[in-house]
Chains A and B, each alone.
Chain A
Amino acid sequence: DTEVTQTPKHLVMGMTNKKSLKCEQHMGHRAMYWYKQKAKKPPELMFVYSYEKLSINESVPSRFSPECPNSSLLNLHLHALQPEDSALYLCASSSRGGNTEAFFGQGTRLTVV
C-alpha cells in the first residue's frame, strides 16, 4: 500500500465554521507533512511532523491547528478561516532520510465563503 488518503476531497466552509481535514497512510512513514497549494503555484510547506511530534511550523496562522494522533494519522483543524485560505491542501508522508521521496495524497480542495 503506497497510498496517502485524504478526506474530504472537497470542502466548503463559512468563515465562522470549524472543520477538520484528515490524512492517513499505512506505509510506516514517520514523517508527515501538510502543504498548501494555490492555483498555478508550487506547494508551500505548512507543518512537518516527525515521529508524531511537530518539528516544523512555517509561521502558519493559528487558525490552522495540526494534530498527529498516531503514526498513521494526521489532522488539520480549521477555524475562523479567511477567503484567502481557499486552496488545495496536500498531505504527504515519507521515510526519514533525505534520499526518500514524499508520497502525496490527492488533496482537499477547500473553499472558504
Chain B
Amino acid sequence: AQSVTQLGSHVSVSEGALVLLRCNYSSSVPPYLFWYVQYPNQGLQLLLKYTSAATLVKGINGFEAEFKKSETSFHLTKPSAHMSDAAEYFCAVSDRAGNQFYFGTGTSLTVIP
C-alpha cells in the first residue's frame, strides 16, 4: 500500500529564511508524489509533482522538491520564505492507476515577520 509521512505538524520560519517541509513515502514501486498547498477555507492547489522524469522538481511560487530514492524522501524547500507562504502543506502519493490519492497529515507553515 502507498502512504506518505510528514514529519512536523507545525513549522515556523522567519521571513526570508529557508523553508524545509519533510515528506517520506512508503511504496513498493516507484511512486508518483505530489505537494499541495491549502489556504484557509480553500481547496488544495498543486505546488509540484514527481513523475520520475527528473529527481529535482521545480514548482510554483519558488518551491522545489527533490526525490531521493535512497532516503525514500520528497522534501519540499523554498530558499526564502514570504509571508504569503503561510498555509497548510500536504504531501500526497497516488496509486499506479490514479484511482486514489493518499495524503500525509499535513504541515502548517507559519512565517514570522
Chain A interfacial positions (CB closer than 8 Å to B): 4, 6, 31, 33, 40-43, 45, 48, 50, 55-56, 88, 90, 92, 94-107, 109
Contact = CB atoms under 8 A, between A and B. Distances in A.
Contact of A109 (B41, B51, B96): B41
Nearest to A95: B98
Interface of B: 32, 34, 36, 41-46, 49, 51-52, 88, 90, 94-101, 103-106, 108
Given A41-B106, A43-B103, A100 B98 contact: yes
5 contacts: A40-B106, A99-B52, A101-B49, A107-B42, A109-B41
Contact of B45 (A45, A55, A95, A104): A104
Contact of A97 (B36, B88, B97): B97
Contacts of A42: 90, 103-106
Nearest to A106: B43
A104 B96 contact: no
A98 B43 contact: no
B98 A88 contact: no
Contact of B94 (A55, A98, A109): A98
A31 B99 contact: yes
A107 B32 CA distance: 24
Contacts of A33: 101
B32 A105 contact: no
